Amino acid sequence: MTSLRFVGGVVVGGGEGLLIVDGRVAAPSGRDAPTFDLEGGFLLPGFIDTQVNGGGGVLFNDDPTVEAIVAIGAAHRRFGTTAFLPTLISDDLDRVDMAMRAVEAAIEAGAPGVVGIHLEGPFLNAPRRGAHDASKFRRLDAAAIALLSSLRVGKTLVTLAPETCEAADIAALVRAGVVVAAGHTDATYRQAVEAFAGGVTGVTHLFNAMSPFSHRAPGVAGAALENRSVYCGLIADGRHVDPAALRVAVNARPRDRFMLVTDAMPGVGSASKSFTLQGRQIRVLDGVCVDDDGVLAGSNLDMATALRNMVAMAGVTLEEASVMASAAPAAFLGLADRGVLAPGARADLVWLDAARHVRGVWIGGRRVV
């Protein structure tokens, strides 16, 4: 058996030491094991990012292949991400099929970190399209449901606008094991409440690309803030959501029902800060991705920065931010053995120094950064 004991730092949510054996977190014992000095830093569960469009100069829409998935994962591992969903934004269904088959092949080949796919569209509402190409939008029908339900291994997350779908169609996806989130939606408050009751368990990038909160029309944002159980993604770069809105959100509902997401584009982990998105030129300006009209088009955010930002901007503790980066997305996706440092959990770990920058990353007990 291979084992390692972490000492000399804080195990966030778990005390001052941690033992891993054969790629799993082990119960404390008298077992002799080599020690690893955290040098006064922090050991956290590895970050789980449910929305990764690209990284390392690669955009998944442009290159839905195993090689692209591996490159994207490698770029994000440097920033503590040990599990992720390659994310395909609205595209034709043959492209969706290609992306799903690539994810299956990547998981079966043991590509580090990939745990499924996020299909962000094309079942969205044009008034809330954001940077999506509305010409790709379509209705959810039986053929699409069959395709979305076809992933053989891993998790499938689908972002859709519930007001454009039939309740029975959403229910069919849920029965097939698909995780459904509301996003790029112009639903009313009542429509959002009904969607949550009908099987929608997540909200993609809260506040962004959805009907906003108003005192007479609470919209999707208001329905999400009121709800105590759905998981809400947050892009904590200070630009997608103002820090004041972050604070309002985390003080309005259970903090363990928020998930940090990057919505990352190819610039993360790459020296290049421009790319093409479905024929449009996108540039990274002041840390955000924008098209020529100034419309936000994903982010240049990594998970380690998102974690630091939540502590600095939203006033949450490091332990609370860690839950948002790990335990909450694991629970949302149904990854029972990830996101925590409890005995039996996978030893997916991130080591941060005192300034909360990444010093090391382990996946399944093997150091990869």
Residue 101: CATH number of its domain: 3.20.20.140
Q: Is residue 151 part of a domain?
A: yes
Q: Is residue 355 part of a domain?
A: no
- Res 40: pLDDT: 95
Q: Is residue 217 part of a domain?
A: yes
Q: Is residue 359 part of a domain?
A: no
Q: Is residue 109 part of a domain?
A: yes
Give the distance, in angstroms, between the CA of residue 316 and the centroid of all CA atoms in the same chain.
19
C-beta separation of 297 from 291 below 8 A: yes
Q: In what order do the strands lie in the sheet with 274-277?
A: 274-277, 280-285, 288-290, 296-299
| Domain range enclosing 310 | 45-339
C-alpha distances (whole Å) from 131 to each of 3, 240, 255, 299 are 47, 13, 29, 11
Angle at 115 between CA 184 and CA 354, to 5 degrees: 90
Number of domains composing the chain: 1
3-state helix/strand/coil string of 48-78: EEEEECEECCEECCCCCCHHHHHHHHHHHHC
Per DSSP, 172 falls in state H
- Res 30: pLDDT: 67
Q: Is residue 299 part of a domain?
A: yes
- Tens digit of pLDDT per residue, the chain (369 long)? 689 999 999 999 876 789 999 999 998 776 788 999 999 999 999 999 999 999 999 999 999 999 999 999 999 999 999 999 999 999 999 999 999 999 999 999 999 999 999 999 999 999 999 999 999 999 999 999 999 999 999 999 999 999 999 999 999 999 999 999 999 999 999 999 999 999 999 999 999 999 999 999 999 999 999 999 999 999 999 999 999 999 999 999 999 999 999 999 999 999 888 898 888 899 998 878 998 888 888 999 999 999 999 999 999 999 999 999 999 999 999 999 999 999 999 999 999 999 999 999 999 999 999
DSSP track, 205-249: STTTTBPPP-SS--HHHHHHHH-SSSEEEE--SSSSS-HHHHHHH
Does 286 participate in catalysis according to the annotation?
A: no
Q: Is residue 81 part of a domain?
A: yes
Q: In 10 A of CB 126, how many CB atoms?
A: 13
Q: Which of 91, 263, 302, 348 is catalytic?
A: 263
Q: Is residue 37 part of a domain?
A: no
| Residue 141 tokens, joined | 């029908």
Report the predicted TM-score, pTM, of the whole model to 2 decimal places.
Answer: 0.97
Per DSSP, 190 falls in state H
- Res 294: pLDDT: 87
Please name which of 245, 196, 243 lies closest in space to residue 223, comparing C-alpha atoms.
196
C-beta separation of 241 from 247 below 8 A: no
